[in-house]
Chains A and B, each alone.
Chain A
């Protein structure tokens, strides 16, 4: 195992290696024969390090001196100042962002909820379908009646006058005027009617006809309206006690 070299011997060895004095080398090797190889290694290292110095540059090969612009010497003081400013800016940005994130949103004025009572229409007739409806566990999605509030929907007002026309044809015409396809559900009883609507919206026409002839128009949401005949009230739907679908009219 390699013997650990005392510090004073180490220092002496460096001096001998750097001096390259033959007598000093012999003296060292005779006094510390166990470190002779180490001395040899260090002498070689020092010799190679010293030898790596570039040789003398002949005068002819020295490039002409060209005065340059003032080299940018970044003083340590300047660097500290710039670093300090950058750090302060970072702190400020961090503080601002944290503050912005943690600030609770400004309270909006609380508006008392307005409870509106549905206006009960005593004249509303609830019909029930005479045909038995299969027991449905999941209530089907309710299609909204066609534009229940035409005043808010911005529907165009139309004038339509028909006499002695079939109800189905009249409904299809009304639908086409509003850009809808009208489908009539099975069981719908067609009949001859006469209508005279002046400046009336499509939904109002359908509502009025529904009340008069016992049907409800449902917007299918795909550009079509289905006309469903009204059902008689009093007959429970599927016997489940489920409230009947409210029909327009």
Chain B
């Protein structure tokens, strides 16, 4: 990253490859659809490329990156929320798997699809990225207590939908 900030733009490819997995997981957790997630990842890294100089190093680079990933993914999810109808999800599940990732468990996918993008982001950061509450708080831009409360509520909402699906 220092080399990139020093003007060596070719090093950005290393940053991209190092964090692609994690950013893709966040985007997929929020957007659910793999193709949309892959598209969002490109936009997220474009933002990072253009605004890396704004990174003030007060937090870890990954936290700063995840924050951008979460915000951008939620924005995309809001744009696409009317497209993600249950029927399309069912159809999408039966389609050929995308190149980037394997299909998500259908029940988990259906449950996540019924939650708000913010809830999906919290569950993704906690269960998929294994971030602790401090890191989650930094990533979603709130304090630790708020992050803890939001995570608890998101988990309860997930459980309610998940159990209703059975």
Contacts and interface: CB of A to CB of B under 8 A. Distances in A.
A77 interface: no
B interface, size bucket: 35 or more
Nearest to B100: A57
Contacts of A49: 108, 123, 127, 158
A54 B42 CA distance: 18
A201 to B, nearest CB: 76
Interface stretch (B10-18, B55-63, B85-93): B10-18
B6 interface: no
Interface stretch (A40-48, A97-105, A129-137, A234-242): A40-48
A55 B102 contact: yes
Contact of B17 (A46, A54, A62): A62
B75 A73 contact: yes
A54 B101 contact: yes
A73 B47 contact: yes
A42 B123 CA distance: 15
Contacts, number: 76
Interface of A is mostly: loop
Interface residues of A, number: 28
A93 B113 CA distance: 40
B162 A70 contact: no
Given A53-B127, A54-B101, 9 more contacts: A14-B155, A46-B127, A54-B24, A54-B34, A57-B21, A65-B16, A66-B42, A68-B43, A71-B47
Interface of A: 14, 41-42, 45-46, 48-57, 59, 61-63, 65-71, 73-74
29 contacts: A41-B163, A45-B163, A46-B127, A48-B105, A49-B127, A52-B108, A52-B109, A52-B112, A52-B128, A53-B29, A54-B25, A54-B34, A55-B101, A55-B102, A56-B21, A57-B21, A57-B100, A61-B100, A62-B17, A65-B16, A65-B42, A67-B46, A67-B49, A68-B42, A70-B46, A70-B50, A71-B46, A71-B47, A73-B47
